[in-house]
Amino acid sequence: MTNGDAGGPQGGTTRRELLSMIGAMGGAAAMYQAMTALGHAAETQFTGPPALSGARPGSSVLVLGAGLAGLLAALELSKAGYRVQVLEFQDRAGGRNYSVRGGDRIVEVGGATQTCTFAPGNYLNPGPWRIPHHHRTLLHYCKSLGVELEPFIQNNHNAFVHRGDAFGGQPQRYKELAVDFKGHISELLGKALNEGALDQKVSVEDKEKLLVALREWGLLDANMAYTSTIRVAGQRGYDIPPGGGLSPAPTPSSLNSLGGVLSSNVWTQMGFYFNYVMQTTMFQPKGGMDMIAAGFMREVGQLVRLNTRVTRIAQSDAGVTVNWTDTQTGEAGSSSADWCVCTIPPPVLSQIEMQVGSAMQNAIRAVPMNGQVKIGLEMRSRFWEDNYAIYGGHSFTDQAISLISYPNDNMFKDGPAVLLGAFANGAGAFQLAGMTPEQRIEMALEQGSVFHPAEYRREYVSGASVAWSRLPWIQGCTSRWTEASRATHYRNLCDFDGRIVLAGEHATYYGGWMEGSMLSALDAIGRLHSRALSA
């Protein structure tokens, strides 16, 4: 398949138009998956750290921001021989790559403040929380920095799907809906094939093969019908499961009607698990997402100045000077270097006096940001394991909270554990972000109770919410480029302006992921090194 707009789908829709629709509906991740399928992009490739060497003696770089892009830039530039200083606004490194733990304070625009009271060892990952198997850059640095990873359970067939207008508002097990969906669809397609409705599309040989496939995949009986049988129960579950000895014989469960299955929209979740970045082999750092930043800080912590708010960025032909204020002491100071890698998020960077041209200034202001909300709910016990046999994975809902996600660590342990009680996007995020932290917790408890009505409020201990649009140090969660805004501004955002280059998840085609942020940093420092050697 060739690149470009030629050869689009039938009906006059070009590839450009198709990608625009996919991006509008599914966001950057869906867009990237579609770009891959259409030949516009490829799986991210990483063959090893950059081969930077031979930095001119005394050459220096200022890195603004100690998120993953800034930390990676500092690590590789210092290894190449540059004198590096990192200025970070917060009292910690990591940026969005962090974990909320007991004792942490979350301060929002407007002054609303939460103090987390989670038990020791419990945490909420309010930003990134899972690592796909093909994010080779991130996996490499986790391994080289000694960051231990553990499986992140993505697809749990025993979790729930809920829609308010389906099954009387009662949640259903994903496995039951998904098996019924493929069973009913297989029966319908089988009937169409046997009635000759597709003879113009399918050869006689392929028709026979397809009928066999539908019978096996859709669990159809000898009459090509989807019925309640022990064979079907082997996938969707039993009314009486198999036992031993003289226990009752297993009996199959009742099937949902086609209409009921369609009302659940279960294909949304089925499609979700086929997504390029959402497939089932995923990972998380053991002990919390902030273990990644901790790994970098073991290597470059001595280069990082925390609690430092950048107030002005100036440059000349000779170098870059950054004015800053110490947020703890009020001290004003400045730092200078030959070059600057700026990873400050666009909503904040647009408010800082910065000596760059109008093209980069306009690009910074043009980066669209979304605002997500995550809520962590600490529960007294792991009732989802004990009472529902759910170990990891997600239960989905059409309510504002969007989903709840079950912890992937410390399974079968006694004592409190933290559920992800909400991961809201779009309208749900706007609704939750506009609430007080206490109101967000109440909504998470109310809406999450649809899945676990007997336990949710009874087992609740404490909660913490992170509304990204209300955090003063970023004022948004992730970039959400459109095709139009990227075409106009993306290159101006990423190109050098004098001695300044930008990096971060907003300066990548893989926005919203740690992998994209790190690939952006590698690209920026590679170009910086080439410029520094030829200057």
**Cα(306)–Cα(129) distance, integer angstroms:** 24
Q: What mean pLDDT is predicted for residues 212-228? A: 96
Q: What is the pLDDT of residue 162?
A: 97
Q: What mean pLDDT is predicted for residues 121-129? A: 97
Q: What is the pLDDT of residue 280?
A: 82
Q: What is the pLDDT of residue 321?
A: 98
Q: What is the pLDDT of residue 53?
A: 87
Q: What mean pLDDT is predicted for residues 418-424? A: 98
In percent, the amount of the chain with pLDDT more than 70 equals 92
**Cα(472)–Cα(48) distance, integer angstroms:** 35
Q: Hey, what domains does the chain have and what are their CATH numbers? A: 1-42 (no CATH), 60-90+290-368+482-534 (3.50.50.60), 100-159+279-285+372-470 (3.90.660.10), 170-264 (1.20.1440.240)
Task: Provide the strand spans (E) within 12-164.
Answer: 60-64, 83-87, 100-101, 105-107, 113-115, 123-124, 131-132, 149-153, 160-162
Residue in the structure block whose two tokens are 């000898």: 222
Q: What is the pLDDT of residue 429?
A: 96
Q: What mean pLDDT is predicted for residues 162-178? A: 97
User: To the nearest whole number, what is the mean pLDDT of the chain?
Assistant: 92
Q: What is the pLDDT of residue 43?
A: 55
Q: What mean pLDDT is predicted for residues 42-58? A: 80
Q: What is the pLDDT of residue 27?
A: 43
Range in 24-38, 352-366, 463-477 with the lowest mean pLDDT: 24-38
Q: What is the pLDDT of residue 275?
A: 87
Q: Which residues pair with 83 in a beta bridge?
A: 60
Phi, psi dihedral angles at 486 (to 5 degrees): -65, -40
Query: Which of 14, 16, 17, 44 has the alpha carbon at shortest distance from 29?
Result: 44
| E strand or H helix that includes residue 424 | strand 417-424
Confidence band of 54 (pLDDT split at 50, 70, 90): confident
Query: Which of 163, 153, 377 has the alpha carbon at shortest distance from 279?
Result: 153
Q: What is the pLDDT of residue 12?
A: 42
Query: Which of 42, 143, 50 has the alpha carbon at shortest distance from 522?
Result: 50
Confidence band of 13 (pLDDT split at 50, 70, 90): very low
Q: What mean pLDDT is predicted for residues 50-57? A: 90
One-letter-per-residue 3-state SS of 61-93: EEEECCEHHHHHHHHHHHHCCCEEEEECCCCCC
**Cα(478)–Cα(511) distance, integer angstroms:** 7
Range in 48-62, 159-173, 216-230, 487-501 with the lowest mean pLDDT: 48-62
Q: What is the pLDDT of residue 46?
A: 75
Tokens encoding 151: 């499986």
Q: What is the pLDDT of residue 48?
A: 83
Q: What mean pLDDT is predicted for residues 201-213? A: 95
The pTM of the full predicted model, rounded to 2 decimals, is 0.89
Query: Which of 450, 405, 438 has the alpha carbon at shortest distance from 424?
Result: 405
Confidence band of 44 (pLDDT split at 50, 70, 90): low
Q: What is the pLDDT of residue 376?
A: 98
Confidence band of 45 (pLDDT split at 50, 70, 90): low
Query: Could you report the per-residue pLDDT of 285-302, keeping only the tens digit for each?
Result: 999 999 999 999 999 999
Query: Could you report the per-residue pLDDT of 179-206, keeping only the tens digit for each?
Result: 999 999 999 999 999 999 999 999 999 9
Q: What is the pLDDT of residue 1?
A: 32
Q: What is the pLDDT of residue 37?
A: 39
- CA 183 → CA 64, 175, 217, 251, 316, distances in Å? 55, 12, 8, 18, 68
Residue 271 has pLDDT above 80, yes or no: yes
Helix 514-534 and helix 483-494, axial crossing angle in degrees, nearest 10: 40
